[in-house]
């Protein structure tokens, strides 16, 4: 495999590009600049030293963690890179997260099958994922 995984928080441009080309919703530049440095852990997948995949862990570092922003350039999909990213994130959680820490994620579409391989299960009907996108009001 001609890929290398590195523990590194993506820069704003890489983050925005990988989200866009993989079909994830956009984030504001201000939000990316504020949020990315607060990542607990992140990985990039490099191909010829260019980022083609990413994933992050966010949270409080003790009781709650969320796996987020898993994205792979469509030109590099189908090569097991999502599994590689998840393995790196889960390895970090196994080392760093305290016992009984709650680890969550939002599974889009068929990604639930990948996440299921790592022990993630649907939480319905006991719980339901909810979200709100903030908008500025004048």
User: What whole-number distance in Å separates Cα of residue 138 and Cα of residue 136?
Assistant: 7
The reported pTM is 0.94
* Superfamily of domain covering 3-116: Gcn5-related N-acetyltransferase (GNAT) (3.40.630.30)
pLDDT for the residue numbered 122: 92
pLDDT for the residue numbered 136: 81
At 77, give phi and psi (nearest 5°).
-75, 160
pLDDT(1) > 80: no
Cβ atoms of 32 and 25 within 8 Å: the answer is no
Per-residue model confidence as pLDDT tens digits over 86-130: 999 999 999 999 999 999 999 988 899 999 999 999 999 999 988
**Biggest distance spanned by C-alpha atoms of the chain:** 51
Per-residue model confidence as pLDDT tens digits over 38-69: 999 999 999 999 999 999 999 999 999 999 99
Whose structure tokens read 């990542």?
A: 39
């Amino acid at each position: 495999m001609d890929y290398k995984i590195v523990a590194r928080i993506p820069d704003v441009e890489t983050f925005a590009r990988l989200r866009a080309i993989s079909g994830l919703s956009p984030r504001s530049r201000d939000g990316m600049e504020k949020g990315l440095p607060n990542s607990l852990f992140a990985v990039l997948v490099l191909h010829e030293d260019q980022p083609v995949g990413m994933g992050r862990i966010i949270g409080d570092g003790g009781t709650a963690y969320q796996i987020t922003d898993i994205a792979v350039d469509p030109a590099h999909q189908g090569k097991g890179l999502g599994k590689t990213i998840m393995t790196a994130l889960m390895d970090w959680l196994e080392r760093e997260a305290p016992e009984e820490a709650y680890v969550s994620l939002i599974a889009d579409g068929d990604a639930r099958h990948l996440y299921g391989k790592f022990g993630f299960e649907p939480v319905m009907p006991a719980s339901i994922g909810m979200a709100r996108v903030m908008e500025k009001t004048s």
